[in-house]
C-alpha cells in the first residue's frame, strides 16, 4: 500500500470511531486571553476580529510550514513563488505583504534588508510554537510603524516547571522529504528550560511549473532551533531568555522573460540564516497595582544568492529593541498599558532609529461594555515624528451575543533599502530623498455568537481600509509615492459540533480592492474559503479533512489566474499514550493550480510520521 492510500484509509476510518462525549471541546469553553492587544484581554473584550491558533490546531494540520495554517484563516491571503522554500508572502485583508509584521515572543523580526522590509514566511516551521494570533487591519498603535496592514504574533512554548519531558519525531514522504524534531524540557520549582530543534530536507519539485516543460527538481533544506528558559528570582521577579535561529538553502529557477510568469528551469539558489533572541525581566504581577516588563532584543538575517555557482547578491540586516512596558489597574473599571521603545535597524552601513511612546486605556463602562483607546508617537531619525490612534469597543448584548468594532491608523516609514537605493538603469545618480511614509486607516464592525443551547459559534466582520502614499518602484523614477488603495470586504467563521466526535470549521473571505485608477490589485482573490471536518474523541484514532478554495486572481501581466480547490486529509493513531503514528495526503485529488503565475505546486503527495513522548 502506498503512502497516499495508507493515509487515506486511516483518515476515513474515523467515520467508524464514535466515542462518547459532550460534543464540545473543553478548550472552546475556556476564556482565551490574547497578547496582541498589549493588555491581557479575552477575545470578547478586544473589540477586534482576532484569529487564534493553538498547538492542537497546528498538530491537527500536520504541516511543517506555519504558512499553511495561516492561509486557512479568514482575511489571510498567501502567495508562494513555488513550493518548498519559494518566497511566501502573507497579506492581511489585501494589504501588501511588506505591511504584515511578524512578531516572535514580542520581538519584531521583519527583514530590514528586504527592499520593502517584509518577511518571507517560507522558512518558518511550527516546532516550538504554542499559539499564533493574527490581528488584521492597521495595528501601528499596538506594534509600531511596520504593522500598517496587520500583525502575526507567534508565542513559543513556556518551559515546564517540573521534571524532564520531551518529544522525538520523524517523518518521511513524497519528493524524498525527510524531517525530524526533538523537544526537550526540564525544570524545577524555580525555573525551566526548553530545547527544541527540527530539520527538514526534500528534493522538492520544480519552482517553475512542470506543466510548462520545467522538469528540474528544486530542493529545500531547513534547520531551526529554539532555546528558551526562565527563572524565578523571588520577590515577584522573573527573568526570561530565548534564542531562535534557522538556516535554509532553497534551490530556485531563473528569470526568463519569454517564459510563462518569466520563470524557467535554472540552477540558482539562496542561502539564508536568521537568529535572534531577547532577555526579559518581569517585576510585579498578582497582588500588585502595576506590573513592569523590561526587554532587550536583537535579530539578524543574512541572505546570499548564487547563480551559476557564483555569488550574485548578498545582504544582511539587523535590528535591536529596547522596551519598557507597564500594565496595571486604576480602580475597578480602568486598566492601562504604557510602553516606551527604541528600535535600531541597520542594513550594511546604513541605519535608522525609531523612538516610540504608546499608551492604552481600557475602560469598563459597564459589566457589558468595554472600551479601549490608545495612542502612539513614533519618532524616526529619518522622517521625524508621527502619531497614530486606535479605539475599540465590545458590547455583550446577551451572554451569547457580542457586538464589536474598532477604528485605527497605521504608518510605515520607507525601508532603509528604499531610501538608499539608486536606480542607475533609470538614469538616476542618487536615491529619492522625497519619499514619504505610507499611511493607512481602517474600520471594522462585527459580532460573535456563542449560544449555550446550540453546539455552534459564528463570527462575522465587515471592514474598510484605505492606504495612501504607498511606495512603488518605477523604471523611470525608482521608488516613489504613487498609489492609493481602497479595500472593503467581509469575513465569516463558523464552528459546528453536529456529533460528539465531529467538529466542522468554516471560514470565508470577500475582498474588493482597487487602486487609484480603479484597477483590481493583483494576486488577491475576491472570494476564498476553508472548510475543516475534524473527527476525534476519546478513542486512539482521529483525523481531519481540509478543503481550501481560492478564487480567480488577476496577475501582474493583466490576465486572470484560474480559481482552484485543494483537499488535504490527515490521520493520527495513538498506539499508546506515548507513541503516536500519523499520516497525511496533500492535494488529495491531484489538482493542478498556481498560486503565482508561472510557479508550480505539488500534485498528490503522501507523508507518514511517528512521535514518541517521554
Digit-coded pLDDT (tens) for 386-401: 999 999 999 999 999 9
Angle CA 227–230–232, to nearest 5: 170
CA nearest neighbour of 605 among 128, 177, 92, 168: 177
pLDDT at residue 54 in the model: 95
Contact 11, 95 (CB under 8 A): no
pLDDT at residue 223 in the model: 98
Q: Which three cell numbers stand for residue 556?
A: 501582474
pLDDT > 70: percent of the chain: 95
Residue 557 has φ and ψ, to the nearest 5°, of -85, 0
Residue 80's beta-bridge partner residues? Answer: 88
Mean pLDDT within 537-546: 91
Give the range among 316-325, 344-353, 583-592 with minimum mean pLDDT. Answer: 344-353
Mean pLDDT within 13-30: 36
Q: Give the CA distances from residue 337 to residues 43, 291, 340, 385, 467, in Å, rounded to whole numbers and listed in that order.
A: 18, 10, 10, 21, 28
Choice between 505 and 18, residue whose per-residue pLDDT is larger: 505
Give the range among 190-204, 298-312, 472-486, 579-593 with minimum mean pLDDT. Answer: 472-486
Contact 450, 438 (CB under 8 A): no
pLDDT level of residue 286 (50, 70, 90 thresholds): low
Q: Which three cell numbers stand for residue 482?
A: 504613487
Mean pLDDT within 292-318: 95
Predicted confidence (pLDDT) at residue 1 exceeds the cutoff of 80: no
Choice between 515 and 280, residue whose per-residue pLDDT is larger: 280
Q: Which three cell numbers stand for residue 171?
A: 517523518
Q: Which three cell numbers stand for residue 34?
A: 490574547
Measure the CA–CA gap between 91 and 97, rounded to whole angstroms: 5
- CA 274 from centre of chain: 17
Measure the CA–CA gap between 121 and 70, rounded to whole angstroms: 10
pLDDT at residue 476 in the model: 86
Q: Residue 128 sits in which domain range?
A: 3-210+218-613
pTM of the model: 0.92
Could you tell me what percentage of the chain is helix, strand and coil, using 3-state DSSP and rounding each to the nearest 5? 10, 60, 30
Predicted confidence (pLDDT) at residue 349 exceeds the cutoff of 90: no
Q: Using the 8-state DSSP alphabet, how is residue 208 labeled?
A: B
- Position of cell 465531529? 502
Measure the CA–CA gap between 573 and 44, rounded to whole angstroms: 35
Number of structural domains, the chain? Answer: 1
pLDDT level of residue 20 (50, 70, 90 thresholds): very low
Residue 209 has φ and ψ, to the nearest 5°, of -55, 130
- Position of cell 468595554? 370
pLDDT level of residue 6 (50, 70, 90 thresholds): very low
**Number of neighbouring beta carbons within 10 Å of residue 163:** 10
Measure the CA–CA gap between 79 and 553, rounded to whole angstroms: 11
pLDDT level of residue 130 (50, 70, 90 thresholds): very high
pLDDT at residue 482 in the model: 82
pLDDT at residue 287 in the model: 61
CATH number at residue 205: 2.40.170.20
Measure the CA–CA gap between 466 and 438, rounded to whole angstroms: 11
Measure the CA–CA gap between 361 and 372, rounded to whole angstroms: 6
Report pLDDT digits (tens) over 175-223. Answer: 999 999 999 999 988 999 999 999 999 999 999 999 999 999 999 999 9
Report pLDDT digits (tens) over 438-464. Answer: 999 999 999 999 999 899 999 999 999
CA nearest neighbour of 528 among 554, 548, 555: 548
Measure the CA–CA gap between 550 and 564, rounded to whole angstroms: 5
Mean pLDDT within 7-19: 33
Contact 37, 372 (CB under 8 A): yes
Q: Which three cell numbers stand for residue 113?
A: 534588508
pLDDT at residue 556 in the model: 84
**Number of neighbouring beta carbons within 10 Å of residue 474:** 11
pLDDT at residue 4 in the model: 35
pLDDT at residue 30 in the model: 56
pLDDT at residue 474 in the model: 85
Predicted confidence (pLDDT) at residue 562 exceeds the cutoff of 90: yes
Measure the CA–CA gap between 141 and 126, rounded to whole angstroms: 28
- The mean pLDDT of the chain is 91
For residue 441, give every residue at least 6 positions away whose Cβ sits within 8 Å of its Cβ, in sequence order, or none.
Answer: 138, 407, 408, 409, 410, 465, 466
Residues of 486-523 as b/e, b for ≥16 C-beta within 10 angstroms?
A: bbbbbbbbbbebeebbbbbbbbbbbbebebeeeeebbb
Contact 100, 152 (CB under 8 A): yes
Amino acid at each position: 500500500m502506498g503512502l497516499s492510500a495508507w493515509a487515506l484509509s486511516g483518515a476515513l476510518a474515523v467515520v467508524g470511531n464514535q466515542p462518547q462525549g459532550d460534543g464540545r471541546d473543553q478548550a472552546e469553553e475556556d476564556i482565551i486571553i490574547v497578547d496582541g492587544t498589549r493588555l491581557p484581554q479575552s477575545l470578547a473584550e478586544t473589540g477586534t476580529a482576532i484569529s487564534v491558533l493553538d498547538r492542537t490546531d497546528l498538530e491537527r494540520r500536520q504541516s511543517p510550514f506555519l504558512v499553511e495554517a495561516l492561509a486557512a484563516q479568514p482575511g489571510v491571503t498567501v502567495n508562494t513563488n513555488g513550493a518548498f522554500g519559494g518566497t511566501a508572502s502573507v497579506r492581511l485583508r489585501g494589504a501588501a505583504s511588506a505591511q504584515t509584521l511578524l512578531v516572535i515572543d514580542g520581538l519584531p523580526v521583519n527583514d530590514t534588508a528586504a527592499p520593502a522590509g517584509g518577511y518571507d514566511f517560507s522558512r518558518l516551521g511550527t516546532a516550538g510554537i504554542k499559539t499564533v494570533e493574527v490581528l488584521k487591519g492597521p495595528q501601528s498603535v499596538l506594534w509600531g510603524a511596520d504593522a500598517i496592514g496587520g500583525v502575526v504574533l507567534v508565542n513559543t512554548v513556556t518551559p515546564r516547571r517540573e521534571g524532564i519531558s520531551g518529544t522525538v519525531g520523524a517523518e518521511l514522504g513524497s519528493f524524498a522529504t525527510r524531517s525530524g524534531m526533538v523537544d526537550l524540557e526540564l525544570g524545577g520549582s524555580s525555573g525551566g528550560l526548553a530545547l527544541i530543534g527540527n530539520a527538514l530536507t526534500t528534493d522538492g519539485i520544480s519552482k517553475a511549473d512542470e506543466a510548462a516543460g520545467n522538469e528540474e527538481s528544486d530542493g529545500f533544506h531547513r534547520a531551526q532551533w529554539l532555546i528558551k528558559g526562565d527563572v524565578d528570582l523571588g520577590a515577584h521577579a522573573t527573568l526570561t531568555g530565548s534564542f531562535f535561529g534557522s538556516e535554509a538553502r532553497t534551490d530556485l529557477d531563473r528569470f526568463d522573460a519569454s517564459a510563462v510568469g518569466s520563470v524557467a528551469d535554472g540552477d540558482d539558489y539562496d542561502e539564508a540564516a536568521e537568529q535572534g533572541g531577547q532577555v526579559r525581566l518581569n517585576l510585579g504581577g498578582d497582588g500588585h497595582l502595576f506590573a513592569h516588563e523590561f526587554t532587550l532584543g536583537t535579530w539578524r538575517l543574512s541572505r546570499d544568492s548564487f547563480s551559476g555557482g557564483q555569488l550574485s547578491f548578498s545582504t544582511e540586516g539587523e535590528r535591536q529593541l529596547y522596551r519598557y512596558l507597564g500594565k496595571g489597574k486604576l480602580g475597578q473599571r480602568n486598566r492601562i498599558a504604557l510602553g516606551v521603545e527604541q528600535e535600531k535597524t541597520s542594513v550594511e552601513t546604513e541605519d535608522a532609529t525609531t523612538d516610540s511612546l504608546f499608551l492604552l486605556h481600557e475602560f469598563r463602562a459597564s459589566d457589558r461594555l468595554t472600551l479601549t483607546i490608545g495612542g502612539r508617537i513614533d519618532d524616526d531619525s529619518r522622517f521625524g515624528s508621527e502619531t497614530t490612534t486606535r479605539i475599540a469597543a465590545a458590547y455583550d448584548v446577551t451572554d451569547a451575543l457580542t457586538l464589536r468594532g474598532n477604528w485605527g491608523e497605521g504608518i510605515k516609514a520607507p525601508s532603509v533599502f528604499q531610501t538608499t537605493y539608486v536606480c542607475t538603469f533609470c538614469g538616476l545618480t542618487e536615491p529619492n530623498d522625497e519619499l514619504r511614509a505610507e499611511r493607512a486607516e481602517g474600520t471594522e464592525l462585527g459580532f460573535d455568537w456563542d449560544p449555550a443551547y446550540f453546539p455552534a459559534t459564528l463570527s462575522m466582520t465587515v471592514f474598510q481600509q484605505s492606504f495612501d502614499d504607498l511606495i512603488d518602484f518605477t523604471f523611470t523614477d525608482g521608488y516613489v509615492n504613487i498609489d492609493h488603495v481602497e479595500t472593503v470586504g467581509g469575513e465569516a467563521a463558523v464552528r459546528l459540533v453536529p456529533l460528539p466526535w465531529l467538529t466542522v470549521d468554516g471560514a470565508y473571505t470577500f475582498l474588493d480592492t482597487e487602486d487609484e485608477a480603479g484597477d483590481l490589485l493583483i494576486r488577491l482573490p475576491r472570494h476564498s474559503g476553508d472548510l475543516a471536518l475534524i473527527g476525534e474523541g476519546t478513542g486512539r484514532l482521529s483525523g481531519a479533512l481540509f478543503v481550501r478554495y481560492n478564487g480567480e486572481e488577476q496577475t501582474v501581466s493583466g490576465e486572470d489566474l484560474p480559481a482552484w480547490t485543494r483537499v488535504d486529509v490527515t490521520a493520527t493513531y495513538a498506539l499508546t499514550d506515548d507513541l503516536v503514528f500519523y499520516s497525511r495526503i496533500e492535494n488529495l485529488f491531484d489538482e493542478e493550480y498556481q498560486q503565482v503565475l508561472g510557479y508550480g505546486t505539488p500534485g498528490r503527495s503522501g507523508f507518514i510520521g511517528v512521535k514518541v513522548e517521554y
